[in-house]
Chains A and B, each alone.
Chain A
Amino acid sequence: MSDRLNINKTYKLYIGGKFPRTESGRAYTIEDSKGNTLCHMSRASRKDFREAIVACQSAIKGWANRTAFNRSQILYRIAEMLEGRKAQFVDELISTGATKGSATKEVELSIDRLVYFAGWADKYTQVFGSVNPVATSHFNFSTPESMGLIAIMAPDEHPLLGLVSNLAPCIVGGNTCVILASEVNPFIAISFAEVLNSSDVPGGVVNILTGFKSELYKHFGTHMNVNAIICCADNKDQIINMQENAALNVKRFILRNKVNWMSDAGQDPYFIMDTQEIKTAWHPIGI
């Protein structure tokens, strides 16, 4: 036994490419299956959510204007970084009660899923876009374009894979996002933020908060800057409230609380299309 003191990580939030503490100064405790304290997490407040939205908003233009090829490279880079830290994530998942087998599978699937969506970056516009026959002398195109700012409520189960499977299709399409991490095992999301931070993902494109869904769901619905909500949570009242408030600025509401993230159903090009808008352009011919 070494008499050295452990240096434990302080888990903070991830906003605008930085790791700030919650402005509220609050924390909550995460325990393992035996009731031992695993770590303390920042309990994000309404104001942290607002700060994240501000960071997210300022990143939209730069991110949407990146070439598809560049976004693809960056997603692939995240996968590379995660591959290099596989062992750490397996250990972290085991500490939450997963078996070694399922933990390894979850990390590997997460990496593969990032590569999968990286591959879609320069293809989805071709697959889902169209050239439309029209009666006048025009070329008529319909192409998917990013919606803007997406608020994601990540699933509680599979804290890494669930996060990655929702985040990747969102940002590969040029959106930026604010994510409320798994409430049960949030610290893995913050470790993943370190991966994002070293993967050339511009600050503000992905912002990760930890805290209580019950405290933050209202602001998901009411914040006028949010263009779509991806909800992986189960609470009916919260879902209804978010859907109702979404009407304020006609947010899109996407419910993904029945997806089995460990299966093939967890990777789907239609996940990209969930946060895309089809825009049509008329271009005159022969002038």
Chain B
Amino acid sequence: MSKNGIYTPLDFKNVDFNVSIDEVGVGDRLARIKSRSIKKASKVEATLMAINMIDLTTLEGMDSPAKVRQLCSKAMRPHEEYENIPSTAAVCVYPNYVALAKKELKGSGVNVAAVSTAFPSGNAPMSIKIEDTKFAVDAGADEIDMVISRGKFLCGEYNFVFDEIAKIKEVCGKAHLKVILETGELETLDKVRLASDIAMEAGADFIKTSTGKIQPAATMPVTLVMLEAIREFYYRTGKMIGMKPAGGIKQHKDALKYLVMVKETLGEAWLNNKYFRFGASSLANELLMQLVKEYTGNYQAPEYFSID
């Protein structure tokens, strides 16, 4: 909040540096969230919802046009055998492949997200980060996943990080901006909270845990802290910010626990792919296998699902 108590958006002064996180409390809260039991019909519904929230991702040096095409076709029709299975929310690729993905996904309603700002390290001059983002936006990206400069952040140059995000947001134009905090490098939950607050104040539409290139990637404690930051930001400003845990969510059960966490922290308004995403690749097949298991009663094997 600024000094006179009136909230002005996009102001570094709004960032509260004095929030500290109770790690034991986070653990206790999660223990309760993990104990929720989701079975049968609710399991099917939650699984369908989770599929619809996936940002199907390929971010490898060896990505090729064929791989991106394959990914797009999987995003639109995750599993041919059942017509009720929704498409994923988006595909997430390097800027080079945005134009191709955009063409492949035309008319399907699946968004194209591009990682940007010298992903995954973010160690490049600002001019290059802007160029990187512009390129992706011009190629038609609906969403930009930027990384913050963790080195600067850990040195305490918070205003640098704030300005960087604000600048990229400006370049994004209509494209949605997801800000990757790379929580695996932020060391403490306090810093995760601070980075979340900085990103939201600087204009992020989404905050995202990780690049997927660093271990640990998305974890439940980090996600809970970020969800709570979103909740408090909403109470303060009335603006709904999205959340995207990315990397490391591989099990069907874990995905459902994340949904419970969103529901119990932010409420049902956030339970759709406008405000919640999973950054994942292998999770999609895991969800599909569980879904088909519920439909047929038989445990499934990976060889009957498309390779990704």
Contacts and interface: CB of A to CB of B under 8 A. Distances in A.
A224 interface: yes
Interface string B172-195: 000000000000000000000000
A222 B292 CA distance: 13
A281 to B, nearest CB: 21
A53 B299 contact: yes
Nearest to B293: A224
A223 B297 CA distance: 9
A225 interface: yes
B37 to A, nearest CB: 14
Interface residues of B, number: 7
Interface string B275-308: 0000000000000000000000111111010000
Nearest to B299: A223
B301 A50 contact: no
B299 A248 contact: no
A222 B301 contact: no
B299 to A, nearest CB: 5
A219 interface: yes
A126 B300 CA distance: 35
Interface string A234-250: 00000000000000110
5 contacts: A222-B298, A223-B299, A224-B299, A224-B304, A249-B304
A224 B297 contact: no
A53 B300 CA distance: 11
Interface in B46-62: none
B297 A222 contact: yes
Contacts of B298: 222-224, 248
A249 B297 CA distance: 14
Contacts of B304: 224, 249
Nearest to B304: A224
A219 B304 CA distance: 18
Contacts of A224: 298-301, 304
Contacts of B297: 222
A222 B296 CA distance: 10
B299 A249 contact: no
Interface in A196-250: 219, 222-225, 248-249
Given A57-B302, A222-B298, A224-B304, 12 more contacts: A50-B299, A222-B299, A223-B298, A223-B299, A224-B298, A224-B300, A224-B301, A225-B299, A225-B301, A225-B302, A248-B298, A249-B304
B290 to A, nearest CB: 11
